[in-house]
Amino acid sequence: MSKDKGKTKEKDTGTREQFEKRVTRLGLSDDNLIGLYRTMCTVRQFEYMADRLYAGGKVHGTMHLSAGQEAVAAGISLAVHPDDYLINHHRGHGHFIAKGADINLMMAEFLGKDTGYNRGRGGSMHIADFQSNNLGANGIVGGGIPQAVGVGLALQMQKRKEICICIFGDGAANEGVFHEAMNMVALWKLPVLYICENNKYGMSMDVERATAKLPIAQRADAYGIPWACVDGNDVVEVYDAMKIAAEHVRSGKGPYFVETITYRYFGHSKSDRNLYRSKEEIEDWKQNRDPIMRFTKHLLQSEILDEGRAQEIDGQAEQVILKAVEFAEASPEPDLSTLMEFVYA
């Protein structure tokens, strides 16, 4: 894990020996590692299916896909507890899947069906599952950052052991509430783990053109919050950083801030023609820094998986997604007579 402040350049995930040493140090079992691989495959299958469904005219609304960013979701999820609280933003499919969401209900929500997590009222951008402490994705960039202060405050007042994980993008870090929230969360030493998923672009705006000083995570210094900036396409490095951060937060020492450098393959949303970045850049990330490819290489090298088993797991992930599509397509639309429901409790 890069604890060197300011260093953000991508790194090789290391030799076989380095990988195995690290995995041993972190106490990650083969099952853990295969689980990470499975999660990443499932997220990617979901996102590519979402894109296909959209291209096939089956999706009414918008979507924000996270293909390319799978290691962040998977790494966080293994490092925290299943009953920890999650607040995230519009590019949230991967976080939900990694947290163990019911993919049928996610897909149904994506297609606007009555069986979806939000009864078809929220869509891709607002999936929430209160039973599993997923407090919902926010469509206002940065809107959830200050709400995490309240979740952290309630956890502190109720003397509970869970923590709040709040995930947002590089664009959100330039909203005013980011600074209000960082100040208050540090002031009150609240159990909140803030994660900035820096995928290099806020819609079309390059993070380097939008941010006066990088890395974004160094802003935490101003509030006395410990931070790290890590390679978000190295799932073991993400896990390592999140483990340290989550333990710090859970021990009552206050918030922690982790920035993960990653990259999204699809455009910002359905209308994006990628005019602000080159095909070469996208291909470079896909060919040379893909999080699943890099991790698979290590799993094969260290003989945790063989080619056949790797393909089998990916195939199983695909099956899960296909079944979810089947479930969603067979589900009813919300009845028009229910339009006025849920305005007031």
Q: Which residues contact 205 (CB under 8 A, 6 or more apart)?
A: 171, 276
One character per residue 53-92, x = contact with other proteins (rule: CB under 8 A): --------------------------------x-x-----
Task: Please give the structure tokens belonging to residue 267.
Answer: 């455009």
How far is residue 323 CA from its own chain's centroid? 23
| Minimum CB distance to other proteins smaller for 326 or for 342 | 342
The distance between the two most distant Cα atoms of the chain, rounded to a whole number of Å, is 62
Q: 213-248 in b/e burial notation, b at 16+ Cβ within 10 A?
A: ebbbbbbbeebebbbbbbbbbbbbbbbbbbbbbbeb
| Nearer to other proteins among residue 187 and residue 322 (C-beta) | 187
# residues near other proteins by CB under 8 A: 44
Rg of the chain over Cα atoms, rounded to whole angstroms, equals: 19
Q: Compare residues 224 and 315 and give the one whose CB is closer to other proteins.
A: 224
Stretch that binds other proteins, among 21-29, 48-56, 114-122, 243-251 (CB under 8 A): 114-122
Among 38, 58, 81, 121, binds other proteins (CB under 8 A): 121
Q: From 16-24, 143-151, 265-273, 300-308, give the range in contact with other proteins by CB under 8 A.
A: 143-151
CB nearer to other proteins: give 275 or 343: 343
Whole-angstrom CA distances from 341 to 119, 334, 344 are 11, 11, 8
Closest to other proteins by CB, 174 vs 301, is 174
**Least Cβ distance, residue 164 to other proteins (angstroms):** 8
Residues in 228-257 that interact with other proteins by CB under 8 A: none
- Token look-up 């206050």 returns 254
**Binding window for other proteins (CB under 8 A); candidates: 42-50, 53-61, 152-160, 238-246:** 152-160
Q: Is 345 in the site for other proteins (CB under 8 A)?
A: yes
Residue number with CB closer to other proteins (116 or 169): 116
Cβ distance to other proteins smaller for residue 1 or 111: 111
In whole angstroms, give the CA distance from residue 167 to residue 277. 24
Q: Considering beta carbons, is residue 239 or 257 the nearer one to other proteins?
A: 257
Strand 192-198 with 201-202, pairing:
unpaired
Shortest separation between residue 273's beta carbon and other proteins, angstroms: 28
Cα separation, 295 vs 78, whole angstroms:
15
Q: Contacting other proteins (CB under 8 A), which of 67, 128, 163, 258?
A: 128
The alpha carbon of residue 306 and the mean position of all alpha carbons in its chain are separated, in whole angstroms, by 27
- Contact indicator for 87, 164 with CB cutoff of 8 Å: yes
Q: How many helices (H) and strands (E) does the chain have?
A: 12, 8
Q: What is the per-residue binding string for other proteins in 182-211, x denoting contact by CB under 8 A?
A: -xx--x------------------------
Residue 159 CB, nearest approach to other proteins (Å): 11
Residues 6 or more apart in contact with residue 108 via CB below 8 angstroms: 114, 115, 116, 117, 120, 324, 327, 328, 331
Q: Does 158 sit near other proteins (CB under 8 A)?
A: yes
Residue 59 half-sphere exposure, CB side, CA atoms within 13 Å?
Answer: 22
Q: How far is CA 235 from CA 11, 20, 175, in A?
A: 12, 14, 28
Residue 120 found at the interface with other proteins (CB under 8 A)? yes
297 lies in the site for other proteins, by CB under 8 A: no
10 Å Cβ neighbour count for 119? 16
Does residue 107 interact with other proteins by CB under 8 A? no
Q: Is the peptide bond before 291 cis (omega within 30 degrees of 0)?
A: no
Residue 325 binding other proteins, by CB under 8 A:
no
- Contacts with other proteins, residue ranges (CB under 8 A): 85, 87, 116-122, 126, 128-130, 135-136, 138, 140, 143, 145-155, 157-158, 164, 176-177, 180-181, 183-184, 187, 341-345
